[in-house]
Amino acid sequence: MANLKSIHSLVQKIKSENTYIDIYKICKALKIDILEKNLGKNDTAIKGFFVHHCRIKAIIINSDMPENLKRIILAHELGHALLHTEKGIKTFQESCIFKINNSLEKEANQFAADLLIDEDKFMELCQLEYSCEAVAAYLQVPVQLLCYKWEMMEEYNENLGEFPFQAKNNFLRDLEIPKIDDDYIY
Ligand SMILES: [Zn+2]
């Protein structure tokens, strides 16, 4: 099992090699194919999955989702691809059920949060006392992903304090990025 430190150092390595986080480019360099498929729009539709068969690694993503959500799912699947393929697990599927207690799912979320959220920008917005929804909207991530990033940051900064938001079990089903709206700012 990967721990926070090993996930963080993997993300640091990716960030040192990429000035802008373009998941498509990162996957291409790692020879992970990305395929878009029409998988439906309802609540139970599969958002994406990762397959590892023989030497082929591919992420299949639901083409019916908005681009900003595709980016989240791609980062999560990339986490599975980099952290979990050695376990002999061939597929990871993201559908309506999000098992927060499943350590592999948690690690993939930690990876995605650490990769997609810029720590300095996150801290800057927190210091301006924006609401969680406003911070999430500005950073174009679901609020729940902020919790995972906070948890990573706490590991390195014990003075950080508690994040004022609890991740929900049904995070993936309700996956939504808040819209930028002045009402969020208080
Ligand atoms: Zn997953």
What's the gap in Å between 101 CA and the centre of ligand 1?
A: 12
pLDDT digits (tens, 9 = 90+) for 57-115: 999 999 988 898 899 999 999 998 999 887 666 666 665 434 555 788 888 989 999 99
- Give the C-alpha separation, 102 to 35, whole Å: 26
Write out the residues surrounding ion ligand 1, Cβ under 5 A.
92, 105, 108
Of all residues in the chain, what percent carry a pLDDT higher than 90?
Answer: 33
Q: How does pLDDT run across 157-183, given as a tens digit for each residue?
A: 877 777 765 554 445 555 666 665 544
Tell me the CA–centroid distance for residue 127 and ligand 1, in Å: 31
Q: Which domains does the chain have, with CATH numbers?
A: 4-116 (1.10.10.2910), 119-184 (no CATH)
Under a CB-based contact definition with an 8 Å cutoff, are residues 32 and 61 in contact? no
CB 173 within 8 A of CB 97: yes
Look up the pTM and report it: 0.83
Long-range contact pairs involving 80-84 (C-beta distance under 8 Å, separation at least 24): 80/50, 80/104, 80/108, 81/27, 81/30, 81/32, 81/50, 81/52, 81/57, 82/10, 82/30, 82/111, 83/2, 83/7, 83/10, 83/107, 83/108, 83/111, 84/108
For residue 182, the CA-to-ligand 1 centroid distance in Å is 33
DSSP-derived secondary structure for 7-48:
HHHHHHHHHHH-SS--HHHHHHHTTEEEEEE---SSTTS--E
**76 C-alpha to ligand 1 centroid (Å):** 6
Distance 35 CA to ligand 1 centre (A): 17
Q: Mean pLDDT across the chain, nearest whole number?
A: 81
